[in-house]
Amino acid sequence: MRARRHVRRPPDLTSLFDVLFIVVFAALIRAAAVENAAAHPPAPPRPRAPETPPEVAALRQRALSELQAGLAGLAPLVVRVTRDGTIDGLDVDGARVRLVVPLLERDPSPDVRLRYGGDRNADLRVCRIAARQLGTAELPRYLVIVAPAVPLDDLPQALYLGLRRDLEHCRSDQRAAAAVLVDPAALQPIAPAPTPQPTQPPPPRTTP
């Protein structure tokens, strides 16, 4: 009796192609992930702000309260500035002082065109102008408020930067207690005062 010979079947090529496709596809995904990670490294962690000790926080709060109380006792001196860079009025001690003082000058350079006059002449600085109108040399009891007529973003750059520099001159030259540049875009609208309603007289009393 003859022994049966085992015939070897050819490998299933379809299965081999499937396995090869899976291996190549996984390798491509892995390579793409590595390339993307190299192109977009993770952002470094943001440093944590140092914690303020409770005692220091309490001292800070107290100092801010003292500053606020000190500023609340100052008389406001409002310097009105138009869009084109002209002081057209002062509000001080409950009165409006009208004046016309340009703060900007033409510059012959085509790259500059406008320059702040106070950088050239100290007499054209905001607080020097205000003090001269009040007949004084210093403003130690005033909170100087520079109030442009338009938002700060709409001011010429020369005017905006010049006004910012003038805040320091107000404190150093005219000894103003404080000086600030207020953006009108940040002001809250003031609600009109309610109109008082007329009171009706009480009906006359009738005697029986």
Mean pLDDT of the chain: 82
User: Per-residue confidence at 201, pLDDT binned at 50, 70, 90?
Assistant: low
pTM above 0.85, yes or no: no
| Residues in CB range of 75: below 8 A, 6 or more apart | 92, 93, 141, 142, 143
Report, as an integer, the average pLDDT of 37-58: 73
Percent of the chain at pLDDT > 70 equals 66
pLDDT score recorded for residue 196: 63
187 pLDDT tier (thresholds 50, 70, 90) = confident
Decide: 181 and 146 in contact? Cβ < 8 Å.
Answer: yes
Q: Residue 68 — very low, low, confident or very high, per pLDDT cuts 50/70/90?
A: confident
pLDDT of residue 76: 94
Cα 124 to Cα 28, 101, 118, 199, distances in angstroms: 71, 8, 5, 54
Name which of 80, 93, 97 is nearest 142 in CA terms: 93
pLDDT of the residue at 51? 83
pLDDT band at 72, cuts 50/70/90?
confident
Q: Supply the pLDDT for residue 108.
A: 76
pLDDT at residue number 113: 82
Q: pLDDT band at residue 5, thresholds of 50, 70 and 90?
A: low
Supply the pLDDT for residue 19: 58
Model pLDDT, residue 129: 96
∠ CA 121-100-139, nearest 5°, is 60
pLDDT band at 176 (very low <50, low <70, confident <90, very high): very high
Q: What residues does each domain of the chain span? A: 73-186
Asked if pLDDT for residue 7 goes beyond 60, the answer is: no
How far is it, in rounded angstroms, from Cα 12 to Cα 197?
Answer: 99
Residue 79 has pLDDT above 70, yes or no: yes
Residues in a beta bridge with 97 = 90
